[in-house]
Amino acid sequence: MLNATTLPENSPNLEVALSVIDDRAAFEEKKRRQVLDLGQDRRLFAGAIDVLVAADKYDYSYLWSWMGVPIIQFPADIIATQEVIWATRPDVIIETGVARGGSVLFMASMLELIGKGRVIGVDIDIRAHNRDSVERHPMAKRVILVEGPSTEPATLTKIRAEIPTGAAVMVVLDSDHSRDYVLGELRTYGPLVTQGCYLVVADTILGHLDPDQAPRNRSKVCFKGNEPLSALKAYLKETDRFEIDPVVNGKLILSSSPGGYLRCRTEVSQ
């Protein structure tokens, strides 16, 4: 790496030298420090919640699409998920909760860029028009849809059959957001996540909202105490395989899933 300190301050080549310094490592380190500080800014986080609550009047999370298909996520969560997929390069991504299909197609497009892998989308009810949106999409070749209750043994058997031996596995939980159901999913799918990959618990923001802030225009309304964040906290008391990634989560202020990105530390004990 070119070091500008090797040149005298009055050197005519100093400006040129500074312009070609490889500052990538310094940039990333500064970014990391800023993220960690941002993650501790509770006042800013509270203000961000106010913005998200106000924006929900317009169904803000429903306004975005991925490659033409509704994704029903906030932009920050899409970017964060992209970061962890690119960094870890999983062979299989399991997502519970297919909805309109944009999320499974988004993750499939990431795997297509990487050049390998499949997304397994699981939902108790994959409606015909949503299945059509997925199956007609250019990224459909990297998607497997499994219909059934996500925690039922028969559903899990179908999912396991699609995971190759030795595959690196990532999991995203985004179906029923009630505490007990999410905890059941964590216990079911947590053991499938492989070391170095991520377990993502969606909509942890619900655990930060007062009753008057909770979204009402949903198929199920979840209040603080009966939501994904409570399930996540309970699960982390049961296992030491996962840790909350402070760098990924630190920047998730305008997000539906702050604190929901868990990195797998160890393989499952046999």
Q: What is the pLDDT of residue 12?
A: 59
> How does pLDDT run across 13-46, given as a tens digit for each residue?
666 666 689 999 999 999 999 999 999 999 999 9
Per domain, the residue ranges of the chain are 23-264
* Distance between CA atoms of residues 14 and 114, nearest Å: 39
Q: What is the pLDDT of residue 219?
A: 67
**What are the backbone dihedrals phi and psi of residue 94, each rounded to the nearest 5 degrees, phi first?**
-105, 125
Residues paired with residue 212 on neighbouring β-strands, in sequence order: none
Tell me which residue of 88, 134, 139, 135 sits closest to 109, measured CA to CA. 139
Long-range contacts, 71-75 (Cβ 8 Å, 24+): 71/100, 71/102, 71/103, 71/105, 71/106, 72/99, 72/100, 72/102, 72/103, 73/102, 73/103, 73/256, 74/254, 74/255, 74/256, 75/254
* Distance between CA atoms of residues 47 and 223, nearest Å: 20
* Distance between CA atoms of residues 207 and 199, nearest Å: 18
CATH class of 23-264: alpha beta
Q: What is the pLDDT of residue 215?
A: 79
* Distance between CA atoms of residues 95 and 110, nearest Å: 14
Summary mean pLDDT of the chain: 92
List, for the chain, all residue ranges whose pLDDT scores fall below the cut of 50: 1-7
Cα-atom radius of gyration of the chain, to the nearest Å? 21
